[in-house]
Chains A and B, each alone.
Chain A
Amino acid sequence: MSIPDYRLSQLETLEAESIHVIREVAAELERPVLLFSGGKDSIVMLELARKAFAPARIPFPVMHVDTGLNFPDVLEFRDKRVAELGVQLIVASVPEAMAKGLVKEEPNGSRNRIQTPVLLDAVEQHGFTALFGGARRDEDKARAKERVFSFRDEFGQWDPKNQRPELWDLYNGRIHLGESIRVFPLSNWTELDIWQYILREQIAIPPLYLAQEREVVERQGMLYAVNEFIRPRDGEQPFRATVRYRTVGDANLTAAVRSEATTVEEVIAEIAVTRMTERGATRGDDKVSDAAMEDRKKEGYF
């Protein structure tokens, strides 16, 4: 090791902090599960979990809340990664929950809110007491105030006014039956940190994150790639454009951005000079109101 002054870089420090958090949960909470969507943040979180327990296997399963509106590339990536790591994958399916009448499709076609009851139902069924999520505090002002160990009551609700003080790295994971802890190992990472780490560790990502010529339509100033969930509407003229995805959410709501970034290095270049936050640029679902995230989190959303 060639660090004569015993200093870690910012990436190494964040990595160490995240691994500490992941190990703490495995040591203190009985049934953890890691939420894995195949998106870049959860990919990094899963890689950190692998490092935390190597050469042993990750000692908890991963879960995907499947809205039924996934990019096929991302599902393929998810299954491949889970198989490589030899971890158990639990799929909590929104379409199945709709078929059973547990939740109803919302008029705007977004399944962002209705995935919450599906998540909570799966948590109860499996008796999970800790749920790892890949959220970062730099994403949203509601997230900026959330703890690394975020206490949730038996309904999975977040109460911003009644959070446990979180001092040093002494995390309090004590809960009563039915309660749970949402754990955010990536709390202190920024979008740029995530990409730099993907580059540094040569972590595989779904191809959607890189620029490619795709057939798109323009809606309210945003570009949506034509796929099985996005069909051109009357008056919309599909055209070809070189685009990539900055976030990967539901395929019917996630917009692409014009981009020339075909490698991770180029993505970093793009982000380093870009002037638009990732959720603001590409996620229709966060723009419902100024406090959209705050509302969803109180209902038990991640």
Chain B
Amino acid sequence: MAPETYPTVTDADEPVDVHSPVAEHAVELATARKDILRIATAGSVDDGKSTLIGRLLYDSKAIFEDQYEAVARASKGDHVDLALLTDGLRAEREQGITIDVAYRYFATPRRTFILADTPGHVQYTRNMVTGASTADLAIVLVDARKGMVEQSRRHAFLASLLRVPHLVVAVNKMDLVDWSEGVFEAIADEFSAFAAKLSVPDLTVVPISALHGDNVVTHSANTPWYEGPTLLHHLEHVHVASDRNLTDARFPVQYVIRPQTEEHHDYRGYAGTVASGVFRVGDEVMVQPSGLPTTIVGIDGPRGPVDEAFPPMAVTLRLADDLDVSRGDLVSKPENAPTATQDLDALVCWMTDEPLRPRQRITVKHTTRTARAMVKELAYRLDVNTLHRDREATELGLNDIGRVRLRVTQPLFVDDYTRNRVTGRFILVDEATNATVGAGMLTPAG
């Protein structure tokens, strides 16, 4: 271990003037009401993904002086290598690989961003699926010199499989194709044609140079023919509020709150996170599996009672009747309830070396309900490059995606993933090792 040394802090002698106009402005920007955009990026080693992320972090001022100085010192050549800002663990540097999804944070006055940075090669599908699972938007990087390659198709396919609502194709290294509008248009057209097959609801293509910063934060003088937004402008303004399902009220009960104190003697509340839809005090609701109707008499939020709750609020519902409700039950509306079923038809992404095979026993975690299951059937394995369905397949290996039928020991309350990203998803857990071995997205039977 190296001897202990302390860093030299250059600005420690100069306290920030907290009453200066700059500080007041900074407070105004920092405390303005914002929302969160969750981004997944995917790319291979050489397409400039790390440089792009470094650029976004640096240009949005998410990088601090000491981090930047460390990177500047470590850079070889005459420019600061922004890719080093996303440098990983020593275990990775020693082996020259990227192990895992890394999460990065940056903010502008309009939005805060959570970026899941997924490596391109090792464990590629598993990482991309993990990163995309929570994403509002996916960025696929394409090297302008190479155009759309197999991996770009895979990125786009996985983003669409996970129903990421917004896809951005960043055509990078435009400086190396002399800022050619023709090259850019050809890639954009090819991608649009491919995306149309995938039901990608929103596709944006941006010509950039991550290395030089063109069209990342500010418009580039090198692309006068490009009239679209810069990458950051698009990230700041893309409309995500309507991506949520506010139609189908779904509330998986997570935890039952019973204070059993003198002050709250009769309090009995059902805590959970609203999966979709809107719940209001006075609403008639139904609780599955019992199917019994009741009425919401109160909703308690983090700051006390509220009139209504919507996703992703974490609240506690109080119900009029003294029903037997416990974790894993689901509150919905009598006229619009999810399907209660023990048969799950799903696209499964398999994430472990030991393959998935019919007759295998496995644990399913779906919303707040966990149940044992058996693999009844593997309908087909999907080739993520050609989208070909191999119906002869007898197993799913690591990073394979296939259509699977599971029989569960108790009913789950489900919707199709395309309609409801919360009640349409589940994970698979190995019964012996307890490892998370798969991710499932429910699809209509047939």
Contacts and interface: CB of A to CB of B under 8 A. Distances in A.
Contacts of B241: 5-7
A192 B231 CA distance: 24
Interface string B70-113: 00000000000000000111110000000111111101000110
Interface in B306-346: 306-308, 310, 312-314, 327
A15 B89 contact: no
A79 interface: no
Interface string A59-80: 0000000000000000000000
Contacts of B34: 9-10
A187 B11 contact: no
A160 B306 contact: no
Nearest to B260: A56
A54 B327 contact: no
B273 interface: yes
Nearest to B259: A56
Interface in A14-55: 14-17, 19-20, 23-24, 26-27, 51-55
A168 B267 CA distance: 31
Interface in B268-313: 271-273, 278, 300, 302, 306-308, 310, 312-313
B386 interface: no
B7 interface: yes
A235 interface: no
Interface in B40-73: 64-67
A175 B427 CA distance: 16
Interface residues of B, number: 97
B107 A190 contact: yes
Interface in B161-192: none
Given A172-B436, A273-B16, A220 B254 contact: no
A280 B7 contact: yes
B255 A26 contact: yes
A284 interface: yes
Given A10-B36, A221-B6, A294-B89, A145 B99 contact: yes
Given A164-B435, A164-B436, A196 B12 contact: no
A83 B5 CA distance: 40
A272 B6 contact: no
A221 B10 CA distance: 8
A258 interface: yes
Contacts of B254: 20, 23-24, 27
B436 A269 contact: no
A222 B6 contact: yes
Contacts of A170: 365-366, 425-427
A266 B426 CA distance: 45
Contacts of B111: 10
Given A137-B103, A288-B1, A165 B308 contact: no
A294 B92 CA distance: 11
Contact of B434 (A163, A174, A274): A174
Contacts of B435: 164, 172
Interface string A263-277: 001101111111111
Interface stretch (B128-136, B147-155, B404-412): B128-136
Given A137-B105, A277-B64, A165 B436 contact: yes
Given A163-B100, A176-B434, A284 B6 contact: yes
B35 A190 contact: no
Contacts of B246: 6
A108 interface: yes
A123 B340 CA distance: 40
Interface of A: 1, 5-10, 12-17, 19-20, 23-24, 26-27, 51-57, 108, 110, 137-138, 141-142, 144-145, 160-161, 163-170, 172, 174-176, 187-188, 190, 192-193, 196, 199, 211, 219-223, 242, 257-261, 265-266, 268-277, 280-281, 284, 287-291, 294
Interface of B: 1-2, 4-9, 11-19, 22-24, 26-27, 29-31, 33-36, 64-67, 87-91, 99-105, 107, 111-112, 114, 126-127, 129-130, 133-134, 241, 244, 246, 254-255, 257-261, 263-264, 267, 271-273, 278, 300, 302, 306-308, 310, 312-314, 327, 351, 363, 365-366, 368, 421-422, 425-427, 429, 434-436, 439
Given A16-B273, A172-B365, 15 more contacts: A1-B308, A7-B35, A13-B36, A56-B259, A57-B261, A108-B4, A167-B130, A167-B436, A169-B134, A220-B5, A260-B19, A270-B15, A289-B1, A289-B2, A294-B89
9 contacts: A1-B307, A7-B241, A57-B261, A174-B363, A273-B26, A284-B4, A288-B1, A288-B4, A294-B89
**Cβ-closest 8 pairs across A and B:** A272-B26, A220-B6, A56-B259, A19-B314, A258-B15, A291-B90, A174-B434, A275-B65
